[in-house]
Amino acid sequence: MSKYPLTRLIFGREASIALAGPHIFVLDSRTGNIRCSTQNISDQSQPHSGGPIQFIATDVDFVHIATIAGDKKLVVWNLSDLQVLSSREIPKRATGLTFTRDGQTIIVSDKFGDVFYYPLHPPPVEETVPPPAPPEPEPSTKRSSLVAHDNKHGELILGHTSIITTFLLTPDEQYIITADRDEHIRVSWYPKGYHIERYCLGSTKFLSALCIPQSDHSVLISGGGDPSLRVWDWMSGKLLGEVPIFEHVRPFLKVKPERKVKGGESGVGRKGRKKRGAKEGEAEKPAEPKAEGGGAGEGEGEDEEKRQNPQTEEAAERAEQQSSEPEDVLVVSKIASFNVEEEKMVLFSAVGASALFYFAYPLSDAPPRYVDFGKPVLDFALGTEGNSIWVSVDGQWHEPAAVNITEDGDVEMSNGPEGEVAVVRHIRWRDGQFHESATKDAPPLFTALNSSCLIEASHKDLAALELYSDLAFLPKSKREEEGEEEGSDPGGEDKQKDKRLGVRALGRQKARMALLRKQNEELEEGQGASSSTGAKGGIKKMVCLRRGFCVNMKGKFMVKV
């Protein structure tokens, strides 16, 4: 019988927390004994009804736990006995969850691009006479911005025009740093998020992980779909350096996204869509029938050629199979800093990769090092010992079946090595690198996590976890990228292309243009007299957008490249 993997690990000096599907385990950090869990709570009494818990966080003092599942409910628990203290609905599916340092505020980001804060304990509901219903507004096709941000339980901090994938509070909690699927990193005031302090621009793909190192709070490390991690001075928006990682991660990528079907006999994909160029209301032209003479002759000639050259057909089939194989996709899932023995390290993991990677900080020319666990890494957390890391892996994952042909021509299927695999690993820093601990040398908590916290799960339960959904969800499809390219004409000259864009895409376009103009104005003011040394009648230096337009420092568009 399959068992739930431990998708989230949190460690404290007195208590540790493990998340297994819809269940929470609170364990004693020293002895490994289970203090309490939700395993014995009946399904009717469970506060979450939407499958597995997706996000979990605890306050600094390990007094309260906050969770969010697919039912879009924010549930607050008492950590000592897992008693439910409150349950509130959130407007959209969450993408992030954290507590503030004082433990009295919970911050949640969602897929609509908003960040809200909620008080730890919701205010009491006063019974009042409901006011008379207002008159119904006239029907409109436009969606009100007030309705889009409506939240009766939380207060809006800020909003993006794209999905917020991750966020964090700075150590002094004066700023909140958010990242989205459209390559933006924004530094805003907290809690007055409408004051935007800075943007960190330069990423070419989605962002999925952020980290401020313990040793240097002025630095931000970001990662996502780009082949490198980027190091920023987040107060100035300046890029300080890059750490190439893709070629080092690629050999350990065990999980690949399913290839999206564009269409065909199954009708999946572009079914029902009209061909480009077809006018509205105009039916697609049926395929022209082949001529009776030449068409049949050509088909017979091709069949005869295939019969005479079977190797050519086999080579074509192999080439088609290779082209249909999914590509390696990089999604950085987590970044954290680690200080031990005067060594300052940065650790990171990638979705579907079987290794945990680390490199020294400040940056050097040395490539990232790794510890390979043979199974995809789901989460990692710093231990309380000061020199150890706990790593959770997907124990149910196994290598794809291999086909072996025996000398007699029989077909044998091989699924790789079988047997029980520890779902939680423990590594220690020793002699300048990480080493995996042997079972006999691991602390008592190690045995409890690999035995007492494992719950049986069906294949349907495991599929509901969506462990590797970010591999397909975060990367943009070619159609999305082409759609932005088509509508990215900032001058508004091509109105037909703008009509094909939605409200969100137009909002992103306007935000990019406004941001670029602001940065160009700041750059022009900073250069002063040095800028006037260029060619007459203008400024020599140009700034190029990634979307394909080149502008001068006054924000006027010059040429489309």
Give residue 150's pLDDT: 74
Report pLDDT for 374. Answer: 95
Structure confidence at residue 391 (pLDDT) = 97
- Other residues' Cβ atoms within 10 Å of the Cβ of residue 354: 22
| Distance (Å) of CA 15 to CA 7, 8, 488 | 17, 14, 52
What's the pLDDT score for residue 446?
A: 95
Report the C-alpha gap between 271 and 265 in whole angstroms: 10
Q: How many CA atoms lie within 13 A of 429 on its CB side?
A: 19
Q: What is the pTM of this model?
A: 0.75
Which amino acid is present at 317? E
Q: What is the mean pLDDT of the chain?
A: 79
Counting as low any pLDDT under 50, the low residues of the chain are 141-147, 262-299, 402-406, 409-418, 485-499, 529-561
The pLDDT value given to residue 240: 97
Question: What does the pLDDT read at residue 308?
Answer: 55
Could you count the other beta carbons within 10 Å of the beta carbon of residue 238? Answer: 12
Which residues partner with 552 through β-bridges?
542
HEC profile for 5-35?
CCCEEEECCCEEEEEECCEEEEEECCCCCEE
What's the first-to-final CA gap in the chain, in angstroms?
58
How confident is the model at residue 260, as a pLDDT? 55
Owner of token pair 């008080």: 119
